[in-house]
Amino acid sequence: MNFHIVALTILILPTLQSGLSADTIATEDVSNLAVPWPPPHDPKDSPFAKMPCISYAGYKSNNTLVNPIWGDIEPEDFGPRPVAFDQTGVRQLNQIPAPGIHPRIFCTPADHDNIQRRLKETLCGQEAWKNLLCYVNFIHGTYDPKADYARAPEIAGSPEGKPRGVLGDLQGPKTADAAKQYQALIAGDMSQKTDRLWHVFPLEAFRCWIENDGTSAKALASAVATALKIDQARRSADPSRKPGPLEQPIAGIHLAYTYDFLYNWLNADQKKAIHDELANATWNHDNYGTFNDASLTRSNWDFFLLVDRNARHRR
């Protein structure tokens, strides 16, 4: 369930001497920053072009930690050798919709029926859906270890009746315990813990989107809003954490995916609270290879660097 990613060690770019020193990182609220649509082709035309990035790579210039500038990205730089892209046989993706239309991260509203069909009619989709049902039923208090969805797929050497997941991690060994906590979050109980439930929220949001389950979606929206407030309060009260939201994003990708699939059922206050957290907690962090010199990249992470550049270009 966790999406842990191993950090890369990447080489320092000569161009980083134009970056800002680490202690000059901006902390302004960017949640109301206007972003043009369609997105500008050239990063230098982006409203973030002159803003700094706190890179996971820890770039240095003259032994001083520096923050590269977003406008310095070169999305079309694939190194000294020409790259010819051949999309023969590749399924064409639907166009990213305009701002305010969700989902938009991995799929669009136009993909709904096809994804729903694949979940029901393909073996891979059926197994993925069963995995999802284990977790969402667990937090609803309806998990049945004897149900078909709970049994691991038949694989050679796999013990008969083996469960699909370690569901006890979800706040206790019993589905009733998880359900009690989930219902408390829905009711706005600020005394609850949020550990592990963030991992299930995007799964439940995805299920609600696939099944058009508005009732459950609105309940999830209330739980997410409460969990966000709890973790924001915990972040503000911890003196060991840096001030401001920029260095301590709440729930990471789980909040983003939940927001994306749940968007159409969120009320105005919920949309603003989640949007502002995402905007302020992610704008100044880069992805793998964002500022890499393509000719210096020699590793099995090359594909991720290429995907990252293309993704940024697509946005």
pLDDT digits (tens, 9 = 90+) for 11-47: 222 333 345 544 444 456 788 887 788 888 888 988 8
**6 domain residue, yes or no:** no
Q: What's the structural domain count of the chain?
A: 1
The residue segments making up the domain with residue 305 are: 14-85+98-314
pLDDT band at 308 (very low <50, low <70, confident <90, very high): very low
**5 domain residue, yes or no:** no
Res 198 pLDDT > 60? yes
**250 domain residue, yes or no:** yes
- Position 208 scores a pLDDT of 98
Q: What is the 3-state secondary structure (H, E, C) of the chain?
A: CCCCCCCCCCCCCHHHHHCEEHHHCCCCCCCCCCCCCCCCCCHHHCCCCCCECECCCCCEECCEEEECEHHHCCCCCCCCCCCCCCCCCCCCCCCCCCCCCCCCCCCCHHHHHHHHHHHHHCHHHHHHHHHHHHHHHHHHCCCCCCCHHHECCCCCCCCCCCECCCHHHCCCCCHHHHHHHHHHHHCCCCCCCCCCHHHHHHHHHHHHHHHCCHHHHHHHHHHHHHHHHHHHHHHHHCCCCCCCCCCCCCCCHHHHHHHHHHHHHCCHHHHHHHHHHHHHHHCCECCCCCCCCHHHCCCCCHHHHHHHHHHHHHC
* pLDDT per position as a tens digit, 125-175: 999 999 999 999 999 999 988 898 888 776 655 555 566 665 655 545 688
**29 domain residue, yes or no:** yes
What average pLDDT does this structure show over 61-68?
87
Mean of the per-residue pLDDT values for the chain?
Answer: 79
Q: Give the predicted TM-score (pTM) of the model.
A: 0.80
Please tell me which of 164-168, 200-204, 299-303 the model is most confident about, judged by mean pLDDT: 200-204
- Position 160 scores a pLDDT of 57
- Say what percent of the chain tops pLDDT 90: 36
What average pLDDT does this structure show over 216-240?
92
**269 domain residue, yes or no:** yes
pLDDT band at 309 (very low <50, low <70, confident <90, very high): very low
Higher pLDDT: 88 or 55? It is 88
**104 domain residue, yes or no:** yes
What average pLDDT does this structure show over 36-60?
84
**202 domain residue, yes or no:** yes
**204 domain residue, yes or no:** yes
